[in-house]
Structure 1
Amino acid sequence: MQQKRVTANGIDFAYLEEGEGPLALLLHGFPEAPSMYRHLMPVLAEAGYRAIAPAMRGFAPTQIPPDGSMRIADLIADANSLHEELGGDTDAVIIGHDWGGFSTWGAAAHAPERWSKVVVADVPPVRFYDRKATDPVQIHKNSHFYFFQMAIADQIVPVNDFAYLDWLWEHWSGSVPGFDSTEDRKAGKDSLRAPANLRSGLGLYRDNFNSVTFGTDKWEMGAVLAELPSQPTLYLHGSEDPVVDAATLADIVDVLPPGSDGALLEGVGHFPFLEQPEEVNQRILKFLTA
């Protein structure tokens, strides 16, 4: 696995690369780093893909955007520009988790000619988020959405070596025996350790979940992600991540195009690529090679 750099959409990206063949672009979320795909990348490389996992804009060692924007429209443009700059063709596939998942929904829908297949984990299409909007459990799970809007978060989050991010990992993880997130927590913290990088990470929530427009017909992110991919899509979700249950998963798969599929991963929380990598890798490989 090599670390390289490329300029796309005006941003200098650092990325991990393994393998040769059609592009497989892997997009991470918050508070994560590209190394969260370390289990999947060798599998994709062995299957004949050129697996590339960039650090998203604003996350070290990728450049902080000059205008500070972390809007979903810009993340989508980043993904499609990376396809262009990395020499992707019509056989390319895109895989995303968390914020990388939001970016993946948008990139696939806005530039279907670039991506042949789509994989998203743990962030359903935005049209499904109102299912549990009034559920106290879900409100509590999403408390970071509201906390990060506050300027004081810039000071609180880094305290005690980012203890709040440690809590998020514990809060979001499932009950898979032996799961150890130590390595991945550190990688995520290191990508946000500088104050400017942390502002970018928090900016994901501030720029996209505006406290006035969020949930209304003026919510920009909702409009940008309103359309679904036209390509076959695999949607994966941990059974202990309460945003999606079995009934909602069935409804998600039902609105996706022919050739799509979904799975609820038992005992898994918000980090399926790390909590249950063997099962996730197997499902993704089966889907991509079908």
Structure 2
Amino acid sequence: MQHGSVTVNGVRIAYVEQGEGPLALLLHGFPESGEATYRHLIPALAAAGYRAVAPNIRGFAPSALPADGSMLLADLVADANALHQALGGGSDAVLIGHDWGAATAWAAAATAPERWSRVVVSDVPPLWYFARYAGTYEGIERLNHFWFFQMDIAETVIAADDMAWLRQVMQDKWTAPGYDATEDFEATRKALGEPARLRAALDLYRMNFGPKVMGTPEWEAAHMALWGALPTQPTLYLHGTADQSVSLDEEALAAIGASLSDGSETAFVEGAGHIVPAEKPDAYNALVLRFLKKEV
């Protein structure tokens, strides 16, 4: 893999890339990195004839911290669409996202449909499902890090003992039993090991799900405008059966599939937790590559 960087929206974004062909932009989530999350998919896409590019989002080293400190989802969406242009993407480019990258992909594909021919999303379902789920008893319990991260003490707790809290939660909750999250955690240490980096990562939750704004009409309107609309492009949605953050059953997955555009698909990835691209790469890669190759 080659390393590079480009400046979009005033922020230098670092990335790894491999291959030649149509752009495939791979967006990661919290608390990961693009290279670690997609370490298995990048070479597979390159072999399939794509230029696979996996950036680290703003604030996550070695990408730059935004000068204004803004970590709004709207910024991530603007960065994704600007990366399409800066990297020379065409109308045949594909957009792939996981976790925060999933929310970004839902929005970027809907707000700039001319840039992306197909969309692959995993681990965070569309807003209409996610918002409803987040307010249920199960959702509040499973997404309790959303609320913990609002506390000032979160930075101290997470940084302590070489980020031991993140190591444990990545191993015990965010990935399925039997998966070794060591490589993912080491990437997290590199991306968020500095206090300013960790603060920026927590600001993803503080700025987008702040306790004084979340649930207000203004907050709902802003999120609906950003990622309430679904992509018009063919979309593949994937979800791990052992995901302990966002729970889906067959009925919910079918409803998500019914809401997507023609040519779209949904599938469970058996035995995967919340970091599906890294946990079950053979199954994930096969589903992604088949979807990208199929005629619609």
TM bin, normalised by shorter chain, reads over 0.9
CA distance in 2: counterparts of 1:159 and 1:148, whole angstroms: 15
1:279 has 2:280 as partner: no
Counterpart position of 2:228: 226
Aligned to 1:47: 48
Measured after TM superposition, the shift of residue 140 of structure 1 is 1.8
On the 8 A contact 2:134/2:143 being kept in 1, the answer is: no
The aligned runs of 1:7-156 (5 Å cut-off) are 7-35=7-35, 36-156=37-157
d(CA) in 2 for partners of 1:205, 1:105: 18
2:214 aligns with 214
Which amino acid in 1 is paired with 2:153?
Answer: I
* Alignment of 1:189 onto 2:189: yes
Moved more, 50-59 or 214-223: 214-223
* Other structure's SS at 1:158 match: helix
Tell me if structure 2 keeps the 8 A contact 1:148–1:202.
yes
Write out per-residue CA displacement over residues 155-179 of structure 1, whole angstroms, 9 at most, x where no aligned residue.
Answer: 111111111211221212123x4x2
Structure 2, unaligned runs of 5 or more: none
2:173 match: secondary structure:
helix
Name the TM-score, length of structure 2 as normaliser.
0.94
Q: Does 1:243 align with 2:243?
A: no
In structure 1, stretches of 5+ residues that fail to align are: none
Q: Secondary structure at the match of 1:14?
A: strand
TM-score w.r.t. the length of structure 1 is 0.96
In structure 2, the partner of 1:270 is: 274
Q: Secondary structure at the match of 2:21?
A: coil
Preserved contact between residue 235 and residue 263 of structure 2 (Cα < 8 Å): yes
Deviations 1:165-212 (A, max 9, x none): 11221212123x4x2110111101210011111111000000100212
Moved more, 220-229 or 89-98: 220-229
1:134 CA drift (Å): 4.9
2: distance between equivalents of 1:21 and 1:129?
Answer: 34
Work out the CA distance in 1 between the residues paired with 2:51 and 2:135.
42
CA distance in 1, matches of 2:141, 2:286: 32
Q: Which residue of 1 aligns with 2:201?
A: 201
Kindly tell me: are residues 269 and 63 of structure 1, through their superposed partners in 2, closer, same or farther at Cα, counting changes over 3 Å?
same
Cα distance in 2, alignment partners of residues 253 and 136 from structure 1: 24
